[in-house]
Amino acid sequence: MIVDRQGRRFRNLRVSLTAACNYACTYCVPDGKRLVAAQDELSADAMLRGVAYLIEAAGIERVRITGGEPLVSPKLDAFLRGVSQLGLADISLTSNAQLLTRKLPLLLECGIHRLNISLDTLDAAAFRGIARSGDLATVLDGLQQASAAGLQLKINMVPLRGQNLDQVLPMLDYCLANGFELRFIELMRMGHLARDPNAFQRQFVGMPELLAMIGQRYAYSQAVAPLDATALRYEIPGLGFFGVIANESVPFCRTCSRLRLSSSGWLHGCLSSSNRHYVGDLLDKPRHQALPALQGMLVKALADKQDVAFTGGATVMKIIGG
Ligand code: SAM
Protein backbone atom coordinates (compact mmCIF):
# COMPACT_ATOMS: atom_id res chain seq x y z
CA MET A 1 0.00 0.00 0.00
CA ILE A 2 1.28 3.48 -0.82
CA VAL A 3 1.15 5.73 2.24
CA ASP A 4 2.66 9.21 2.70
CA ARG A 5 4.44 10.62 5.76
CA GLN A 6 1.15 12.05 7.07
CA GLY A 7 -0.32 8.54 6.95
CA ARG A 8 -2.54 9.36 4.00
CA ARG A 9 -3.42 6.82 1.33
CA PHE A 10 -5.89 6.64 -1.53
CA ARG A 11 -9.16 4.95 -0.55
CA ASN A 12 -11.74 6.91 -2.53
CA LEU A 13 -11.68 7.18 -6.29
CA ARG A 14 -13.69 9.72 -8.27
CA VAL A 15 -14.11 8.76 -11.89
CA SER A 16 -15.08 11.51 -14.31
CA LEU A 17 -16.96 9.58 -16.97
CA THR A 18 -17.02 12.47 -19.43
CA ALA A 19 -16.12 16.15 -19.52
CA ALA A 20 -19.42 16.85 -21.30
CA CYS A 21 -22.17 18.54 -19.29
CA ASN A 22 -25.71 19.69 -20.01
CA TYR A 23 -25.27 22.69 -17.66
CA ALA A 24 -22.78 25.55 -17.71
CA CYS A 25 -22.73 26.62 -14.05
CA THR A 26 -21.19 30.05 -13.40
CA TYR A 27 -18.64 28.76 -10.86
CA CYS A 28 -17.51 25.96 -13.18
CA VAL A 29 -17.60 27.45 -16.70
CA PRO A 30 -16.69 31.13 -17.16
CA ASP A 31 -18.01 31.68 -20.69
CA GLY A 32 -21.40 29.97 -20.33
CA LYS A 33 -20.69 27.52 -23.16
CA ARG A 34 -21.84 23.99 -22.44
CA LEU A 35 -19.07 21.45 -22.37
CA VAL A 36 -18.62 18.72 -24.86
CA ALA A 37 -16.75 15.44 -24.47
CA ALA A 38 -13.00 15.61 -25.08
CA GLN A 39 -11.81 13.97 -28.32
CA ASP A 40 -9.47 11.65 -26.43
CA GLU A 41 -11.92 10.28 -23.86
CA LEU A 42 -11.32 6.68 -22.82
CA SER A 43 -13.75 3.88 -23.60
CA ALA A 44 -15.93 2.39 -20.87
CA ASP A 45 -13.77 -0.76 -20.99
CA ALA A 46 -10.54 1.18 -20.49
CA MET A 47 -12.06 3.11 -17.57
CA LEU A 48 -13.26 -0.13 -15.99
CA ARG A 49 -9.77 -1.61 -16.29
CA GLY A 50 -8.51 1.60 -14.72
CA VAL A 51 -10.78 1.15 -11.71
CA ALA A 52 -9.89 -2.54 -11.38
CA TYR A 53 -6.14 -1.77 -11.55
CA LEU A 54 -6.49 1.07 -9.04
CA ILE A 55 -8.35 -1.19 -6.60
CA GLU A 56 -5.31 -3.47 -6.68
CA ALA A 57 -2.53 -0.90 -6.89
CA ALA A 58 -3.88 1.73 -4.50
CA GLY A 59 -6.37 -0.13 -2.30
CA ILE A 60 -9.37 1.83 -3.57
CA GLU A 61 -12.49 0.90 -1.58
CA ARG A 62 -15.13 3.35 -2.78
CA VAL A 63 -15.89 4.85 -6.18
CA ARG A 64 -17.91 7.95 -6.99
CA ILE A 65 -18.92 8.44 -10.61
CA THR A 66 -18.94 12.07 -11.69
CA GLY A 67 -18.19 14.32 -14.67
CA GLY A 68 -18.98 16.65 -16.49
CA GLU A 69 -22.40 15.16 -16.13
CA PRO A 70 -22.23 11.36 -15.91
CA LEU A 71 -25.85 10.84 -16.95
CA VAL A 72 -25.22 12.35 -20.43
CA SER A 73 -22.40 9.92 -21.18
CA PRO A 74 -23.03 7.13 -23.70
CA LYS A 75 -20.59 5.08 -21.57
CA LEU A 76 -22.87 5.17 -18.52
CA ASP A 77 -24.61 1.83 -19.13
CA ALA A 78 -21.48 -0.21 -19.78
CA PHE A 79 -19.48 1.50 -17.05
CA LEU A 80 -22.14 1.09 -14.36
CA ARG A 81 -22.75 -2.53 -15.20
CA GLY A 82 -19.01 -3.23 -15.11
CA VAL A 83 -18.14 -1.26 -11.99
CA SER A 84 -20.90 -2.92 -10.00
CA GLN A 85 -19.10 -6.26 -10.56
CA LEU A 86 -15.77 -5.16 -9.04
CA GLY A 87 -16.60 -5.93 -5.40
CA LEU A 88 -16.30 -2.34 -4.15
CA ALA A 89 -17.58 -1.45 -0.68
CA ASP A 90 -19.50 1.51 -2.09
CA ILE A 91 -20.41 3.04 -5.46
CA SER A 92 -22.15 6.39 -5.67
CA LEU A 93 -22.82 8.96 -8.33
CA THR A 94 -22.85 12.76 -8.51
CA SER A 95 -25.29 14.36 -10.94
CA ASN A 96 -27.30 17.48 -11.62
CA ALA A 97 -30.40 15.20 -11.88
CA GLN A 98 -31.66 16.70 -15.13
CA LEU A 99 -31.82 13.19 -16.64
CA LEU A 100 -32.41 11.34 -13.39
CA THR A 101 -35.94 10.12 -14.10
CA ARG A 102 -34.83 8.60 -17.40
CA LYS A 103 -31.77 6.88 -15.93
CA LEU A 104 -33.35 5.73 -12.67
CA PRO A 105 -34.13 2.17 -13.82
CA LEU A 106 -30.50 1.68 -14.90
CA LEU A 107 -29.15 3.05 -11.60
CA LEU A 108 -31.41 0.73 -9.62
CA GLU A 109 -30.54 -2.24 -11.79
CA CYS A 110 -26.83 -1.62 -11.18
CA GLY A 111 -27.28 -1.41 -7.41
CA ILE A 112 -26.62 2.32 -6.98
CA HIS A 113 -28.15 3.31 -3.65
CA ARG A 114 -26.64 6.73 -3.03
CA LEU A 115 -26.69 9.87 -5.14
CA ASN A 116 -25.21 13.30 -4.61
CA ILE A 117 -27.27 15.83 -6.49
CA SER A 118 -26.10 19.36 -7.23
CA LEU A 119 -28.87 21.88 -6.71
CA ASP A 120 -28.09 25.48 -5.81
CA THR A 121 -31.56 27.00 -5.51
CA LEU A 122 -35.30 26.33 -5.50
CA ASP A 123 -35.96 29.57 -7.34
CA ALA A 124 -36.49 28.92 -11.06
CA ALA A 125 -35.02 32.25 -12.21
CA ALA A 126 -31.94 31.92 -9.98
CA PHE A 127 -31.58 28.32 -11.17
CA ARG A 128 -31.38 29.48 -14.79
CA GLY A 129 -28.95 32.22 -13.74
CA ILE A 130 -26.53 29.77 -12.12
CA ALA A 131 -26.89 26.58 -14.21
CA ARG A 132 -27.52 28.49 -17.46
CA SER A 133 -29.47 25.51 -18.71
CA GLY A 134 -31.86 22.80 -17.54
CA ASP A 135 -35.23 22.93 -15.87
CA LEU A 136 -35.79 23.12 -12.11
CA ALA A 137 -39.17 21.31 -12.13
CA THR A 138 -37.62 18.35 -13.97
CA VAL A 139 -34.87 18.12 -11.35
CA LEU A 140 -37.31 18.27 -8.42
CA ASP A 141 -39.47 15.59 -10.04
CA GLY A 142 -36.39 13.39 -10.54
CA LEU A 143 -35.49 13.77 -6.85
CA GLN A 144 -38.96 12.70 -5.75
CA GLN A 145 -38.90 9.67 -8.01
CA ALA A 146 -35.42 8.62 -6.90
CA SER A 147 -36.37 9.03 -3.26
CA ALA A 148 -39.60 7.06 -3.72
CA ALA A 149 -37.53 4.29 -5.34
CA GLY A 150 -35.45 4.08 -2.13
CA LEU A 151 -32.29 5.96 -3.14
CA GLN A 152 -30.49 7.90 -0.43
CA LEU A 153 -29.95 11.50 -1.56
CA LYS A 154 -27.48 14.16 -0.56
CA ILE A 155 -27.96 17.58 -2.11
CA ASN A 156 -24.91 19.75 -2.82
CA MET A 157 -25.41 23.51 -2.77
CA VAL A 158 -22.68 26.08 -3.41
CA PRO A 159 -23.75 29.27 -1.58
CA LEU A 160 -22.92 32.28 -3.72
CA ARG A 161 -23.25 35.85 -2.48
CA GLY A 162 -25.57 37.79 -4.75
CA GLN A 163 -27.04 34.68 -6.36
CA ASN A 164 -28.55 32.21 -3.91
CA LEU A 165 -27.82 33.26 -0.31
CA ASP A 166 -31.56 33.83 0.22
CA GLN A 167 -31.99 30.13 -0.60
CA VAL A 168 -29.93 28.72 2.28
CA LEU A 169 -32.90 28.32 4.62
CA PRO A 170 -35.50 27.35 1.95
CA MET A 171 -33.10 24.69 0.66
CA LEU A 172 -32.52 23.39 4.19
CA ASP A 173 -36.27 23.32 4.90
CA TYR A 174 -36.90 21.47 1.63
CA CYS A 175 -34.18 18.89 2.29
CA LEU A 176 -35.23 18.26 5.89
CA ALA A 177 -38.87 17.87 4.82
CA ASN A 178 -37.90 15.32 2.16
CA GLY A 179 -35.30 13.35 4.12
CA PHE A 180 -32.38 14.57 1.96
CA GLU A 181 -29.07 15.60 3.55
CA LEU A 182 -28.10 19.08 2.39
CA ARG A 183 -24.40 19.79 2.07
CA PHE A 184 -23.15 23.31 1.59
CA ILE A 185 -19.95 23.41 -0.45
CA GLU A 186 -17.85 26.50 0.14
CA LEU A 187 -16.93 28.01 -3.23
CA MET A 188 -13.52 26.74 -4.34
CA ARG A 189 -10.78 28.67 -6.14
CA MET A 190 -10.80 26.48 -9.19
CA GLY A 191 -10.24 27.31 -12.85
CA HIS A 192 -11.30 30.90 -13.62
CA LEU A 193 -11.95 31.60 -9.92
CA ALA A 194 -8.32 30.70 -9.16
CA ARG A 195 -7.22 33.27 -11.74
CA ASP A 196 -9.62 35.99 -10.54
CA PRO A 197 -9.39 36.45 -6.74
CA ASN A 198 -11.81 39.40 -6.83
CA ALA A 199 -14.55 37.34 -8.47
CA PHE A 200 -13.92 34.60 -5.90
CA GLN A 201 -14.05 36.96 -2.88
CA ARG A 202 -17.16 38.71 -4.17
CA GLN A 203 -19.13 35.45 -4.25
CA PHE A 204 -17.54 33.41 -1.46
CA VAL A 205 -19.66 32.61 1.63
CA GLY A 206 -17.85 30.91 4.50
CA MET A 207 -19.01 28.36 7.03
CA PRO A 208 -19.32 30.79 10.00
CA GLU A 209 -21.78 32.95 8.08
CA LEU A 210 -23.76 29.92 6.95
CA LEU A 211 -23.97 28.44 10.43
CA ALA A 212 -25.09 31.80 11.82
CA MET A 213 -27.92 31.93 9.26
CA ILE A 214 -28.99 28.38 10.07
CA GLY A 215 -28.73 29.03 13.81
CA GLN A 216 -31.36 31.74 13.52
CA ARG A 217 -33.92 29.10 12.62
CA TYR A 218 -32.66 25.78 13.98
CA ALA A 219 -30.76 24.47 16.99
CA TYR A 220 -28.08 22.09 15.76
CA SER A 221 -25.10 20.17 17.14
CA GLN A 222 -22.07 18.59 15.52
CA ALA A 223 -22.56 14.94 14.52
CA VAL A 224 -20.00 12.22 13.96
CA ALA A 225 -18.51 11.78 10.50
CA PRO A 226 -15.84 9.39 9.18
CA LEU A 227 -12.27 10.59 9.77
CA ASP A 228 -11.60 11.13 6.06
CA ALA A 229 -14.97 12.78 5.35
CA THR A 230 -14.87 16.10 3.55
CA ALA A 231 -18.03 17.39 5.22
CA LEU A 232 -18.50 18.56 8.78
CA ARG A 233 -21.84 17.08 9.74
CA TYR A 234 -24.51 18.62 11.96
CA GLU A 235 -27.73 17.25 13.43
CA ILE A 236 -30.92 19.20 13.86
CA PRO A 237 -32.53 17.02 16.54
CA GLY A 238 -35.69 15.31 15.38
CA LEU A 239 -35.47 16.77 11.88
CA GLY A 240 -32.32 15.50 10.19
CA PHE A 241 -28.75 16.34 9.24
CA PHE A 242 -26.85 18.82 7.13
CA GLY A 243 -23.17 19.22 6.30
CA VAL A 244 -20.64 21.83 5.30
CA ILE A 245 -17.70 21.09 3.01
CA ALA A 246 -15.55 23.90 4.31
CA ASN A 247 -12.57 23.84 1.96
CA GLU A 248 -11.53 27.32 3.04
CA SER A 249 -12.78 27.63 6.62
CA VAL A 250 -11.79 24.18 7.91
CA PRO A 251 -9.40 22.57 5.39
CA PHE A 252 -9.37 18.78 5.34
CA CYS A 253 -6.16 18.09 3.38
CA ARG A 254 -4.53 16.27 6.32
CA THR A 255 -7.04 13.43 6.05
CA CYS A 256 -7.72 13.52 2.31
CA SER A 257 -7.97 10.05 0.79
CA ARG A 258 -9.24 11.02 -2.66
CA LEU A 259 -7.80 10.11 -6.04
CA ARG A 260 -9.34 11.26 -9.33
CA LEU A 261 -9.32 9.64 -12.75
CA SER A 262 -10.33 11.92 -15.62
CA SER A 263 -12.28 10.78 -18.66
CA SER A 264 -9.12 11.28 -20.74
CA GLY A 265 -6.99 9.02 -18.58
CA TRP A 266 -5.21 11.41 -16.20
CA LEU A 267 -4.75 10.72 -12.50
CA HIS A 268 -5.07 13.71 -10.16
CA GLY A 269 -3.87 13.29 -6.58
CA CYS A 270 -5.00 16.76 -5.45
CA LEU A 271 -7.45 19.39 -6.69
CA SER A 272 -5.04 22.07 -5.56
CA SER A 273 -2.15 20.82 -7.67
CA SER A 274 -1.69 21.39 -11.39
CA ASN A 275 0.23 18.09 -11.60
CA ARG A 276 -1.50 15.20 -13.28
CA HIS A 277 -0.25 11.81 -14.42
CA TYR A 278 -1.23 10.13 -17.69
CA VAL A 279 -2.28 6.50 -17.27
CA GLY A 280 -4.49 6.15 -20.36
CA ASP A 281 -1.87 4.11 -22.22
CA LEU A 282 -1.33 1.78 -19.24
CA LEU A 283 -4.95 0.77 -19.25
CA ASP A 284 -4.50 -1.10 -22.53
CA LYS A 285 -1.70 -3.18 -21.05
CA PRO A 286 -2.09 -6.50 -19.26
CA ARG A 287 -2.20 -6.40 -15.49
CA HIS A 288 1.40 -7.58 -14.89
CA GLN A 289 2.75 -4.71 -17.00
CA ALA A 290 0.26 -2.04 -15.93
CA LEU A 291 0.40 -2.46 -12.14
CA PRO A 292 4.11 -1.69 -11.52
CA ALA A 293 3.94 1.41 -13.74
CA LEU A 294 0.71 2.49 -12.08
CA GLN A 295 2.30 2.22 -8.63
CA GLY A 296 4.99 4.67 -9.71
CA MET A 297 2.30 7.12 -10.85
CA LEU A 298 0.44 6.70 -7.56
CA VAL A 299 3.52 7.60 -5.53
CA LYS A 300 3.77 10.83 -7.53
CA ALA A 301 0.04 11.54 -7.28
CA LEU A 302 0.07 11.08 -3.49
CA ALA A 303 3.03 13.48 -3.23
CA ASP A 304 0.90 16.13 -5.00
CA LYS A 305 -1.42 16.44 -1.98
CA GLN A 306 -1.26 19.69 -0.03
CA ASP A 307 0.08 19.37 3.52
CA VAL A 308 -2.51 21.57 5.19
CA ALA A 309 -4.92 23.55 3.05
CA PHE A 310 -6.39 23.88 -0.39
CA THR A 311 -4.78 26.87 -2.07
CA GLY A 312 -6.62 26.89 -5.38
CA GLY A 313 -6.16 25.02 -8.61
CA ALA A 314 -5.91 25.81 -12.31
CA THR A 315 -7.80 22.61 -13.08
CA VAL A 316 -11.42 23.13 -13.92
CA MET A 317 -14.02 21.15 -11.96
CA LYS A 318 -15.80 20.15 -15.16
CA ILE A 319 -12.78 18.01 -16.09
CA ILE A 320 -12.38 16.17 -12.82
CA GLY A 321 -15.82 16.43 -11.32
CA GLY A 322 -15.33 17.84 -7.81
N1 SAM B 1 -22.48 17.34 -13.18
C2 SAM B 1 -22.39 16.74 -11.89
C3 SAM B 1 -23.08 17.58 -10.85
O4 SAM B 1 -23.66 18.61 -11.22
O5 SAM B 1 -23.07 17.21 -9.68
C6 SAM B 1 -20.97 16.37 -11.44
C7 SAM B 1 -19.87 17.31 -11.71
S8 SAM B 1 -19.92 18.84 -10.81
C9 SAM B 1 -18.42 19.59 -11.39
C10 SAM B 1 -19.52 18.28 -9.17
C11 SAM B 1 -19.70 19.28 -8.06
O12 SAM B 1 -18.70 20.26 -8.14
C13 SAM B 1 -21.03 20.02 -8.06
O14 SAM B 1 -21.68 19.80 -6.82
C15 SAM B 1 -20.64 21.47 -8.19
O16 SAM B 1 -21.51 22.28 -7.47
C17 SAM B 1 -19.24 21.47 -7.64
N18 SAM B 1 -18.40 22.58 -8.08
C19 SAM B 1 -17.98 22.88 -9.33
N20 SAM B 1 -17.18 23.97 -9.33
C21 SAM B 1 -17.09 24.38 -8.05
C22 SAM B 1 -16.40 25.43 -7.37
N23 SAM B 1 -15.64 26.30 -8.02
N24 SAM B 1 -16.51 25.52 -6.04
C25 SAM B 1 -17.28 24.63 -5.35
N26 SAM B 1 -17.95 23.63 -5.92
C27 SAM B 1 -17.86 23.49 -7.25
pLDDT tens digits for range 234-259: 999 999 999 999 999 988 888 899 99
pLDDT of residue 48: 98
Ligand 1 atom 4 nearest Cα: 96
Q: What does the pLDDT read at residue 134? A: 96
Please state, in angstroms and rounded to a whole number, the distance separating the CA atoms of residues 243 and 152: 15
- The CATH H-level superfamily of 12-320 is Aldolase class I (3.20.20.70)
28-48 pLDDT, tens digit per residue, is 988 877 778 888 999 999 999
Sorted by where each begins, the domain ranges of the chain are: 12-320
Question: Does 315 score more than 70 pLDDT?
Answer: no
If one residue of 22, 94, 120 were mutated to test the ligand 1 pocket, choosing by the most ligand atoms within 8 A of its CB, it would be: 94
Residue 243: CB within 6 Å of ligand 1?
Answer: no
How high is the pLDDT of residue 317?
A: 62
What does pLDDT average to over the chain?
94
DSSP 210-241: HHHHHHTT---EE----TT-SSEEEEETTTEE
Looking at per-residue pLDDT, the higher value among 35 and 264 belongs to 264
User: Does 118 score more than 70 pLDDT?
Assistant: yes
Query: Per-residue pLDDT tens for 204-237?
Result: 999 999 999 999 999 999 998 887 788 999 999 9
Please check whether residue 305 is in contact with residue 256, taking contact to mean a CB–CB distance below 8 angstroms.
yes
Identify the H or E element spanning 185.
strand 181-185
Cα distance between residue 61 and residue 104, in whole Å: 24
